[in-house]
Amino acid sequence: MISIKAFIASMPYHYDNTKEADFQTIMYIIFSLLGMYVKVEVSSALGRADAIVETKDYVYIIEYKVNQSADIALQQIEDKGYATPYLSDPRKLIKIGMNFSSECRGLESWKCI
C-alpha cells in the first residue's frame, strides 16, 4: 500500500484524478501490470464490489471510497456481502477498504481484515 500511495502521489497535479472512477482505473492498471487477475464492478446478490483480485492463494475483495474512510469501505463489503460468493473458495479471503482524498489526490488510508 505504501508503494501504491507513492505511485499515485507521483502523478502530475494537472491530471484530474479526484473521482472514485479515476482511482479505480489507476488501481486496475497497477494490479494488471503486476500480473494479477483483477475484475472490477463485480456483481453479487446485493451490489457490486469495486474490485476483486485473485491470486493462487488469496482472494482480495476491495472497496474504494473518496473523502470518506477505509472503515466505511469495509462496512460496505460486509453490508453488501461481497465476500459471500467466495466463502467455499479454499483460498484465503482478505477484505480491503481504501479511502482516497480528492484534495490530496491520492491514497489517504486503508484497512485490511
Contact 64/27 with Cβ under 8 angstroms?
A: yes
pLDDT of residue 4: 84
> Taking the complete model, does pTM exceed 0.95, yes or no?
no
Q: What is the pLDDT of residues 5-37, one digit of tens each?
A: 888 888 777 777 677 888 899 899 999 999 999
Q: Which amino acid is at 102?
A: S
Residues of the chain under the 70 pLDDT cut: 17
pLDDT of residue 66: 94
Angle in degrees, CA 2, 3, 9, rounded to 5 = 90
Alpha carbons 100 and 80: distance in angstroms, whole number: 21
Query: Would you give the end-to-end CA distance of the chain in angstroms?
Result: 14
Give Cα separations from 48 to 3, 82, 93 (angstroms): 26, 7, 17
Bridge partners of residue 111, in order along the sequence: 97
